[in-house]
Structure 1
Amino acid sequence: MINIAGKLISNKVNNIRFFLNYPKIDIEEENDHVQKFVELVNKSIKNEVDIFEEIVINTYFEENIIGNVNAISEFQIAFNRGNIISMPMEFTQIIGLTDISHIYSYNYDFNLMKKITLNDIFKQDIDFEKIIESYVMEEIYEILDNYKSNMTYGVYELMMEAIYICDDPVFYFNGRELVICISSFELTSQVDNLIEFPISFKKIKNILSDYALRNIYLY
């Protein structure tokens, strides 16, 4: 059984306030190899928190930012079942009225002692990148169409051409959906928060791997 506890770093550096929540994983397993793997995952998570803290501080001094800065991290336990976890973690830097966010996700199978990738979720002969892109792009077009009335045709066309979904997108799963996460500044600089694109496992059940059907998909 996996237990996930929340840890908090709360401090102040000059005008920067840090409220950094992050998970610490503990597993009821006597196997030394599994325990060492848990330690590696915890170290990786804490390392991301430390890097974020360092980047915020360096940005503050290098760019001579005037005013208060709030640096926040939050995590969500989306899936914790059968020694498999999926946890998205959002890092946010608030400078005045500007909110800049990005996201990581920690998807691990502690039975196999491995990180879960999209290759594990889909069948081997499936071009899942194109399938994910088609689902995501369909929703992105709807989002941009909502902004269309507030922008010129030329700007709209440039934004449509500039959209690009990376080959290795951040994702998490909750048993019912595969959720693709994109920082919205990848779409347009006008919006800084995160956008999530859920894809129902039920819709793509026929292309899920045996591993995903047995361990991740909740009927």
Structure 2
Amino acid sequence: MVVIAKELLQYEKDYIKYYINFPKIYYKQENDKDYIKNEMIESINELVFEDIMNFMGVVEDSYNISSEEFIHINSITEFQVGYASDNIMSLAIEFSQLAGFYDISYLKGYNYDFKLKKEIILKDLFRESVDYIKILKKYIWVQAKTLLAELQKNEDESLYHIVEDNICLDEENTFYFTSEYLVLPFSSCEIDQEILNLLEFKIPFNKIYHYLSKYAIKNIVKKIVL
């Protein structure tokens, strides 16, 4: 059974404040009080720690090259568990760098099947004959247009210019999932340079059920209301 604990690293360096929340993953047998050594889980924990260290390094580089003297930077990570069963885990870590009024964020997903001893990639969730990239882009574009309308509602001028071609989605795109949704995040400025917020597009599994692989239906999607 997979157990996901929370670790916290909090300190200050120069003008940078770090609030680093990150997951620590363990494995134990059912009804067993002791954690079991698992090479795959240890490898994932090392990957998460490397990603945290790389992020902190980028923040320090941003501080060192900043043209603004004594700028204060808040370096924050938060994680959420989308899915966790005996053998499957999907979680996401949000990496945020707050400097003044600017919040630059990105998200990375970590999706694994411990029984099969493999990382779950996007195409694992879909039937082989399906052009899932095209299908997902269609759902993202519908949600993006709704988002654009909301953003422009209180603006005198149109500051945002989302176009469908700006939605760059491929097999390597980061993602995570729950038992109900496939979540596809886009980093700050990725879709439009004026949109600094991290955007997450949630695709309900019941909307794409007929395109899903047997693996996804059996192991991830627990209940579908068509």
Q: State TM-score, norm by structure 1.
A: 0.91
Equivalent position of 1:59 in the other structure: 62
User: Is 2:194 aligned against 1:190?
Assistant: yes
Greater per-residue helix proportion: 1
The gaps in structure 1 that reach 5 residues or longer are: none
Equivalent position of 2:24 in the other structure: 24
Equivalent position of 1:164 in the other structure: 167
**How far apart, CA to CA, are the structure 2 residues paired with 1:48 and 1:193?**
21
**How far apart, CA to CA, are the structure 2 residues paired with 1:80 and 1:210?**
19
- How far 1:147 moved relative to its partner? 3.8
Asked if the contact 2:104/2:188 (under 8 Å) is kept, the reply is no
User: Is 2:43 aligned against 1:43?
Assistant: no
- How far 1:102 moved relative to its partner? 0.4
Q: How many residues align structurally?
A: 215
Equivalent position amino acid for 1:74 in 2? E
When the two chains are superposed, the root-mean-square deviation of aligned CA atoms in Å is 2.1
Equivalent position of 2:142 in the other structure: 138
Equivalent position of 2:93 in the other structure: 89
User: Is 2:221 aligned against 1:211?
Assistant: no
Equivalent position of 1:176 in the other structure: 180
Equivalent position of 2:2 in the other structure: 2
Once the two structures are superposed, residues 84-122 of structure 1 have per-residue CA deviations (whole angstroms, 9 ceiling, x without a partner) of 000011000000111110000100111111110111100
C-alpha spacing 1:160/1:131, structure 2 compared with 1 (3 Å)? same
Equivalent position of 2:113 in the other structure: 109
Once the two structures are superposed, residues 12-69 of structure 1 have per-residue CA deviations (whole angstroms, 9 ceiling, x without a partner) of 1100000111101101159xxx811111111000000000000000110122443211
**How far apart, CA to CA, are the structure 1 residues paired with 2:95 and 2:51?**
10
- How far 1:210 moved relative to its partner? 0.7
User: Is 2:69 aligned against 1:69?
Assistant: no
Equivalent position amino acid for 2:120 in 1? I
The gaps in structure 2 that reach 5 residues or longer are: none
Once the two structures are superposed, residues 151-210 of structure 1 have per-residue CA deviations (whole angstroms, 9 ceiling, x without a partner) of 757x76x54266232313221111011111112411223221211111111111111111
* Secondary structure, counterpart of 2:169 in structure 1: coil
Equivalent position amino acid for 2:149 in 1? D
**How far apart, CA to CA, are the structure 2 residues paired with 1:24 and 1:2?**
11
Asked if the contact 1:82/1:215 (under 8 Å) is kept, the reply is no
* Secondary structure, counterpart of 1:136 in structure 2: helix
Q: After TM superposition, where is structure 1 displaced by more than 4 Å over at least 4 residues in a row?
A: none
User: Is 2:100 aligned against 1:99?
Assistant: no
Asked if the contact 1:169/1:182 (under 8 Å) is kept, the reply is no
Q: State TM-score, norm by structure 2.
A: 0.88
Asked if the contact 2:137/2:167 (under 8 Å) is kept, the reply is no
